[in-house]
Copies of this chain bind each other. A is one copy, B any other.
Amino acid sequence: MKCRVCRGPAVIDVRRHNANFCVEHFVKLCRDQVQKAMREWSMIQPGDKVLVAVSGGKDSLALWDILLDLGYDVSGLYVGLGIGDYSDASATHAREFAVKRGAELIEVDLPSDYGYDIPDGSRAARRAPCSACGMSKRHVFDKAALDGGFDVLATGHNLDDEAAVLFGNVLHWQTDYLGRQLPVLPARDGFPRKVKPLVRLAERETAAYCVVRGIDYLVEECPMAAGNRHLSYKEALNVVESTSPGAKHDFYFGFLARASERFQAEAETDREDLLACLQCGAPTTTEVCAFCRLVERAGGHVEPGGPAHGPQPVTLGRGPR
């Protein structure tokens, strides 16, 4: 098995590209794919301050690593979800990476900053854990990016993630979600610009990237995600990918090229209806936003303009901004 680029010994085969790569050229492939996605979608402008949401898993650490290596001004944001040992371990991986790279890590902790954790929050709000978690993270990400003066919020969604979300959206023909499923969402009142620079990399590739780069990431999946629909969508797409390598790529990028715009009218309409949450000021379609309602039901606390005790930015590496 030889590297497609240098003919040296290869360490990974990428069936989707019908090619093998050595360590050096695999790392280059990953960086090139990130740069290609960022260029194609104008994700980050020169001089932008970038905040990358970091879970301690392979995708977010690979993304942070690549953005640092490409020379971007990028800080990490870790959100403690209060999911027992899983959260403890994920925080450790995020902090260790920050120290190793001398990068700033901002931390927000749901239990200490907002008085609830995901297991309790999801029970109280009668939402599936992944739904309560996703909604909480989106809120905290947006707030941290705006409070910290960041221009861009980058998340580690990879090709497998986006293809699985797309599959879920077409399975249910969620026409409003389909209109919004883009690798970039522009900034608007109350929301930072959001970008997904890993959309051209499969999750097997981000894992391999971390391994060859010596990045110690949390391998375990979140224990609360077991059996969720998103995983069954990934499993279903893997069935197709195994007989047709490249199927996920074609599915996702074909959607962006030939179908996405057909659903954007609904997404635009939704956007026009946003108000400021009476409690926290975040953009919402209801009087009090879903985050504040969840926090209230879970017995937590959100003060006007922010949580009661913070969030407390904990900075590691190069110190406070």
Q: How far is the CA of A257 from the CA of B174 in the complex (A)?
A: 11
Which chain A residues (238-279) contact chain B, with CB distance < 8 Å? 239-240, 242-244, 247, 250-251, 254-255, 257-259, 262-263
Q: Which of A3-11, A165-173, A203-211 contacts B (4 or more CB under 8 A)?
A: A165-173
Of chain B, the residue at the smallest CB distance from A248 is B171
Q: In the complex the two chains form, is A173's CB within 8 Å of B259's CB?
A: yes
Tell me the number of copies of this protein.
2
Enumerate chain B residues within 8 angstroms of A255, measured Cβ to Cβ.
170, 173
Q: In the complex the two chains form, is B175's CB within 8 Å of A259's CB?
A: yes
Q: Is A72 part of the contact surface with B, judged by Cβ < 8 Å?
A: no
Q: Per a CB cutoff under 8 Å, which of B172, B244, B262 touches A250?
A: B172
Q: How far is the CA of A175 from the CA of B259 in the complex (A)?
A: 8
Q: Which of A15-23, A63-71, A140-148, A227-235 contacts B (4 or more CB under 8 A)?
A: A227-235
Q: In the complex the two chains form, is B258's CB within 8 Å of A173's CB?
A: yes
A263, chain B: closest CB distance, angstroms: 7
A178, chain B: closest CB distance, angstroms: 8
Q: Per a CB cutoff under 8 Å, which of B172, B236, B257, B262 touches A239?
A: B236
A151, chain B: closest CB distance, angstroms: 32
Enumerate chain B residues within 8 angstroms of A257, measured Cβ to Cβ.
173
Q: Is A237 part of the contact surface with B, judged by Cβ < 8 Å?
A: yes
A109, chain B: closest CB distance, angstroms: 33
Q: How far is the CA of A115 from the CA of B120 in the complex (A)?
A: 71
Q: Per a CB cutoff under 8 Å, which of B235, B240, B258, B262 touches A171?
A: B240
Of chain B, the residue at the smallest CB distance from A171 is B251
Q: In the complex the two chains form, is B173's CB within 8 Å of A247's CB?
A: no
Q: In the complex the two chains form, is B236's CB within 8 Å of A173's CB?
A: no
Asked, given contacts A235-B239, A236-B237, whether A170 binds B170 with beta carbons under 8 Å apart, the answer is yes
Enumerate chain B residues within 8 angstroms of A254, measured Cβ to Cβ.
171-173
Q: In the complex the two chains form, is B233's CB within 8 Å of A240's CB?
A: yes
Q: How far is the CA of A247 from the CA of B173 in the complex (A)?
A: 11
Interface centre among A236, A240, A250, A257 (most CB of B within 10 A): A236
Q: In the complex the two chains form, is A232's CB within 8 Å of B258's CB?
A: no
Q: In the complex the two chains form, is B232's CB within 8 Å of A244's CB?
A: yes
Q: How far is the CA of A6 from the CA of B170 in the complex (A)?
A: 37
Enumerate chain B residues within 8 angstroms of A175, measured Cβ to Cβ.
258-259
Q: How far is the CA of A255 from the CA of B178 in the complex (A)?
A: 13
Q: How far is the CA of A5 from the CA of B233 in the complex (A)?
A: 34
Which chain A residues (42-76) contact chain B, with CB distance < 8 Å? none
A150, chain B: closest CB distance, angstroms: 34
Of chain B, the residue at the smallest CB distance from A257 is B173
Enumerate chain B residues within 8 angstroms of A263, measured Cβ to Cβ.
262
Of chain B, the residue at the smallest CB distance from A173 is B254
Of chain B, the residue at the smallest CB distance from A228 is B243
Closest 5 CB pairs of A and B: A173-B254, A236-B236, A236-B239, A262-B262, A232-B243
Given A170-B259, A232-B243, A236-B236, 12 new contacts (CB under 8 A): A171-B247, A171-B250, A171-B254, A175-B258, A175-B259, A227-B243, A229-B243, A232-B239, A235-B239, A239-B239, A262-B262, A262-B263
